Structure 1
C-alpha cells in the first residue's frame, strides 16, 4: 500500500483504518495510541458513530489492533464521555466499550488514566450554563490495555522532578514509622530514586496556537482539526511503553500529533486517517528541519500471513 506521505521514521496512509490495519503485519507494532471520534449526541464534522452503534463499530477495529500488536505491546485509548440526549444523565457507552474490549476482544485493562483539560469549554450548555444543574465536564478517559498483563513498561523513563517537600525529606531522612492508614514508612522512603513517579492524571490543553501545523493550515485558508491530540499525551505513553526504534501506530491520526511526537522521540510510526484534508495538512508538522527519506527503511506493511 502506497503511503500518502512519509518521513525518515514514519508513514502516513489515507483510508479507512479497518481496511488499512488489515494490511499491517501480524505482531509488528509495539504501541497503538489513539483518540477515535467520540460517540457524542451531536454530529461532528470529522464523523462519529452514535452511542447505540459505537461498540459494534469499534470492535472490528479493536480486533485488528490486537492482531498487529506484539505480545508485549500496549493499546492506549483516549475516549471522552458524553450525555444522554435531552436529559441530564451520562451515557454509558464508554463503560460498555471497555467491557466489550475486555470480554469480547480479550484485552486486559492495565490501568485507567484521566486527562484533565483546563481549556475545555463549559458543556453541555443547557445543563451547565442555562439551567445550572451540572458542573463543567473537563475530564476524559484514557484506558491502557494489553494483550498480556505483563506488557513492556518502565515508569523510570517518565519520572518527574521531586517536589520541594520531597527534596527536603530526602536531605533530612525519615525514621521508621507506621501511618494511621497502615502504610509502613522506613528509611528507603527518603532515598533518592531519581524522581517522583507520575500519577494517572494528565493535565494538558489542546490549544496549540503557534505550531507549523496551525500556521500552515491557516495560511492555506483551511480549518485546523477541531479535536487535536495534545502532544503531552502520546509523549507520556511513548516514553513509558516503548524503546527507541519501536513502532507506534495511530489509526485515527487526525493532525498526526502521535506520529510527530514519535519521530521526535526516535520511534518509527504509522498514521492512518480517513480525511485527505486532515492528512495533507498534518505534513506541516514535519516542515521544519525535514530530513532526507531513508531509502532502505523497513516496510511494515505486507499481506497478512505472508
Structure 2
C-alpha cells in the first residue's frame, strides 16, 4: 500500500494516512459531492464534516448514498454530555433528519438505525418512544421496514439501579434495536457476504448424513446437505460476532483499541457512546459493494467511517461536536 497525504483544512497540517487496498480510485471522492463545504479532514476514501447533519445532508444530491448507518443520541432519562433529546420530543426532532436521509438514498439504498430503549422516569416500565419513531418513519415518511435486527451488547450496565440491583424486580438489558429501513421493498442486499462458519453439529451432520424425516410441525427434513457447499450458514438478525471461528461478543467498552489508546496518550476526550466495529461491518458487508458510499450523520468517533474505509467503501461522517470528530482521526492509523 502506498501512503497518501491529505490536508486538514482547519489546521493546514499534512497527515499521512494509509490508502485502503480496496479503495476504487475511479469512484468520485465523497468530498466532491459537497462542493460548497470543506471537511474537517479527509482520507483516501472519505471525509468528515463538522456541523448539523440536517444542513450537511441538504448539500448532498438526491439518490447519491448507498447506505446510511447511524446511531443518534438516544432519548435517555438522564442528560448526556454528547446531547440527547427528551422522549416527548424525540420523534418530532428526528424526522427532519430522516427526511433528508430518505432523499439522499439511492432507490436500492438502506437506512440502518441503531436506537436504544429507555425506562419511564420513576416507574419500572419501558418507554415506547423508539417504536413511535419507527412507525413514523414508515407511515409518515414512506420508509419500508426491511427487517428488525438486534445488537447484543453484554457491556450494558444493570440500570435503572432502583429496579435492577436494589429492589431486584427487573432484569438487565442486553440488546438494542437495529432497524433496517429502505426506500423500496427491494433494497440491495446479499446475505452471502455475511455468512458465519458452520457449527460443529452442522459439519458433523453433513459428514454423517441424516435420515429423511418430518418434524412435528410438518417441516420436511431431507437427507441431502448439498447447501453445506455454500460457504457458511446464514446469520441471524442478532448481531454479536465478528465472523470468526470463536464467538467474539460485540461490546462497546473496549479500553485497549488503537483509538482509545491514542485518545488517552494525547489527552483527547474519548467518546462515551461508541458502538463496536462489528455492527457497521455486518451491515456494510450485507448492504453495499466496494466503492459504494456509506454515510453516518451522527458519527461520534467515526467507527462506521473507519470500517467503510477498511472494506473499500467511500464514506462521509458528520458530527456536531468538534472534540469527538477531531479525536476520530485516530481511527485512521498513524
Is residue 46 of structure 1 aligned with residue 92 of structure 2? Answer: no
Q: 1:256 aligns with which of 274, 292, 302?
A: 302
Equivalent residues of 2:163, 2:169 under 8 A apart:
yes
Aligned-pair CA distance for 1:211: 2.3
* Counterpart mapping for 1:194-233 below 5 A: 194-203=231-240, 204-233=250-279
What is residue 81 of structure 1 aligned with on the other side? Answer: 117
TM-score, with structure 1 as normaliser: 0.92
Q: 2:126 aligns with which of 90, 102, 106?
A: 90
Where do 5+ consecutive residues of structure 2 fail to align?
Answer: 1-36, 241-249
The separation in 1 between residues aligned to 2:227 and 2:122, in whole angstroms, is 54
Higher-RCO chain (CA-CA 8 Å, sequence separation at least 6): 1
* 1:106-162 Cα shifts (integer Å, max 9, x gaps): 100011111111121111111111111111111110000010111100000110110
Comparing 195-204 with 169-178, which one deviates more in the overlay?
169-178
The separation in 1 between residues aligned to 2:198 and 2:258, in whole angstroms, is 33
What is residue 45 of structure 2 aligned with on the other side? Answer: 9
Q: 1:136 aligns with which of 154, 157, 172?
A: 172
* 1:156-196 Cα shifts (integer Å, max 9, x gaps): 01101100100011112233322111212224445312111
What is the aligned-residue RMSD (CA, Å)? Answer: 1.0
What is residue 146 of structure 2 aligned with on the other side? Answer: 110
* Counterpart mapping for 1:145-160 below 5 A: 145-160=181-196
Is residue 61 of structure 1 aligned with residue 107 of structure 2? Answer: no
Count of matched residue pairs: 288
Equivalent residues of 1:211, 1:285 under 8 A apart:
no
* 1:75-123 Cα shifts (integer Å, max 9, x gaps): 0000000000111110000110010000001100011111111121111
